[in-house]
Structure 1
């Protein structure tokens, strides 16, 4: 057992890198705190730093963003972090200079620093607004890598100097939220190398790039329906060790004793398939297994198309309105191509309704003056007209709320919990 070292929210990049190097050398596991004054006390209370860390080989405890619930402490081992970093570099063609544009208290930003530390290559902070990107790209002959969330990339595309800098980046890893097809298409047409990433804190961040798992990572779809859609399972050495002081939650999420599952063929793997690769895990049995046999039971729906994973949304993204089911994620994906959005975000949520039980409400960001979409009519009728023929009639939102900016967590994700709570409170006034 080890004691826990808390990294304060004002820790500098050199301090974070030194802490990672120290824990890899056998030092204390670390837990970075978020800078947000509201979130930080909640994360600290969840961590209970006076309690020992019981997971062997623990390197870091990262907190989940809390965008869909209370934050959890995800324990990542040295072996998992190293496996993730090395697999990422293999996919990208080798180590390079990493550029930091995300907070290090969440897994995406932390792994930027960890990859550089594992590979013993430079890492430089460029700011969440990418203000330091052009200088950083010009200052090195090494390949440069950058992790962003879609909102950052969308805003950067409206700034010619950032587009020029992004064209020189070896790879932009895009994750944290689904990316609109129009954003990906526009980026690639501009000559920017963008890789979409899928993963979570429990898998050391992204472990599936452009639908294909990294080397050593296995993907399965458990209990698929007639369309092949089921619960996504992610396996391999990148899997986490457990949730901080939550053994029951760990037992239901971290699965390591395989079983036969109703899966059409073996899960795809970019590395060699093992003799047991056709077998998927059963819940609650994880004691004594090796890290390579660990699987993470996600809350995401998806299907395998050949050797590629298509992520379709979360299991809690389905509401019932007027007796009919609505897949919020599917409607969101379609609505993201609405021209009035420009580079803004749109979110679909279900609000309590006396007549319908739950009614579908769209929350969208108002495009700034002069940006793409600013000259397009943005009202409920226009949105419904756009969705007509693209989604079923009952899947069109009954209300549209435009906002200058949707609330976000410090990791950059739309804070759906806060958005829903504020909307319900406003409705009850």
Structure 2
């Protein structure tokens, strides 16, 4: 296995692109990494599992290291299906970390399209840096992939970064849910977004704006989302038991709940373990977050259950306001009206931003720590 250390430099990204191109053609499996501990957990000196082109190493939500095994077939199927859905191969801007699947797939798509990707390098995401990287793209169609937090920064800045965003034929939004308010802001600003649902195990997004990509099948088993198709990984690095539990009979069972609407659109309701048991009633943290996010003056929200002697778990919300913050009682009333008394937060607190982990995912454990510490009192 070939480890490639990504240090933020253009040289490291170029080395990764070349290594991935080699792996897609049958060369050594590639392990992109930034964290030496994750690299070591993947045992790079030992042979990769058969049919592996790339290993995506992740600590996951529990902190337990996992290495997702992706074949050239899975990576190629995902990239080709993405191009088919967006309108054909194009020119890509890499704006997310390439050791995560969303960033790595940008490189794969550019390789298959025969185009040279533009690279956003350096520490952090800045709208002016995004604009400069986008200016390096020549020809079209123009595509990129962002996480919602990056798009919010472009919209808030309103300058050259937002102007650059408007020039893209499609911006895939992944890693975290796209709130209704963010959809509306993007549409009002003239930014063409495609919210995507997927994960490392599906070689990046496999459901675009609620509809599965060509060659991808989505099923609901007791409300739990299952996915099949050539985009699937074939297991986890050196974890046969975990592989057997997640992958069976050509299907991958996710940790997410969903519902299918009459028009066939899949709506992801959140993780199965995000349910809160309050007073003996199970309520959905994700549903409460969607309700809060739709209220005026709310940019983002995270809802968690905190230990409570009376309720077992108390529903508590951390809200990021925009402009003048709405009153907590107004937000609680909105949730009560839409979802009922059990879902109504016992406490609403405000913060400048939500803690994140990985490529734009909300760090719920960090949110719980903040709220349990009395943050905001």
Q: Give TM-score scaled by structure 1 length.
A: 0.80
Q: Where does structure 1 lack aligned partners over 5 or more consecutive residues?
A: 35-39, 224-229, 257-293, 368-372
Deviations 1:372-401 (A, max 9, x none): x22234x53232133231221121111223
The equivalent of 1:8 in structure 2 is 5
Distance change in 2, residues 1:45/1:392 (3 Å): farther
Q: Is 1:295 aligned with 2:289?
A: no
Distance in 1 separating the partners of 2:341 and 2:239 = 43
Distance change in 2, residues 1:425/1:384 (3 Å): closer
Contact 1:137 1:144 in 2 (8 A): no
Contact 2:6 2:13 in 1 (8 A): no
Distance in 2 separating the partners of 1:310 and 1:406 = 23
Contact 2:69 2:235 in 1 (8 A): yes
Distance in 1 separating the partners of 2:95 and 2:17 = 15
Q: Which of 330, 345, 366 is the matching residue for 1:418?
A: 366
Q: Is 1:353 aligned with 2:308?
A: yes
The equivalent of 1:272 in structure 2 is none
Q: Is 1:76 aligned with 2:73?
A: no
Deviations 1:159-209 (A, max 9, x none): 233232222101010111111112112212322211111111100010111
Q: Is 1:362 aligned with 2:311?
A: no
Deviations 1:330-356 (A, max 9, x none): 1111111232323xx210011111121
Deviation at 1:217, TM superposition (A): 0.7
Deviation at 1:158, TM superposition (A): 1.9
Distance in 2 separating the partners of 1:206 and 1:80 = 12
Q: Is 1:154 aligned with 2:182?
A: no
The equivalent of 1:48 in structure 2 is 43
Contact 1:66 1:409 in 2 (8 A): no
Decide which structure has greater helix share: 2
Residues paired across the two proteins, number: 366
The equivalent of 2:337 in structure 1 is 389
Q: Is 1:87 aligned with 2:103?
A: no
Q: Is 1:309 aligned with 2:257?
A: no
The equivalent of 2:141 in structure 1 is 143
Q: Which moved more, 1:62-71 or 1:418-427?
A: 418-427
Deviation at 1:9, TM superposition (A): 3.1
Distance change in 2, residues 1:359/1:193 (3 Å): same
Q: Is 1:131 aligned with 2:128?
A: yes
Q: Is 1:399 aligned with 2:347?
A: yes
Q: Which moved more, 1:145-154 or 1:405-414?
A: 405-414
Distance in 2 separating the partners of 1:214 and 1:246 = 28
SS in 2 for 1:361: strand
Q: Where does structure 2 lack aligned partners over 5 or more consecutive residues?
A: none
The equivalent of 1:109 in structure 2 is 103
Deviation at 1:422, TM superposition (A): 4.9
SS in 1 for 2:96: coil
SS in 2 for 1:243: coil
Q: Is 1:187 aligned with 2:186?
A: yes
Deviation at 1:249, TM superposition (A): 0.8
Distance in 2 separating the partners of 1:112 and 1:137 = 14
Distance change in 2, residues 1:118/1:157 (3 Å): same
SS in 2 for 1:157: helix
Q: Which of 239, 252, 257 is the matching residue for 1:246?
A: 239
Distance change in 2, residues 1:106/1:346 (3 Å): same
Distance in 1 separating the partners of 2:303 and 2:46 = 40
The equivalent of 1:319 in structure 2 is 276
Distance change in 2, residues 1:135/1:8 (3 Å): closer
Deviation at 1:424, TM superposition (A): 4.3
Contact 2:68 2:233 in 1 (8 A): yes
RMSD: 2.0
Distance in 2 separating the partners of 1:357 and 1:233 = 31
Alignment of 1:253-272 (within 5 A): 253-256=246-249
Contact 2:31 2:39 in 1 (8 A): no
Q: Which moved more, 1:147-156 or 1:61-70?
A: 61-70
Q: Which moved more, 1:176-185 or 1:41-50?
A: 41-50
Contact 1:175 1:196 in 2 (8 A): yes
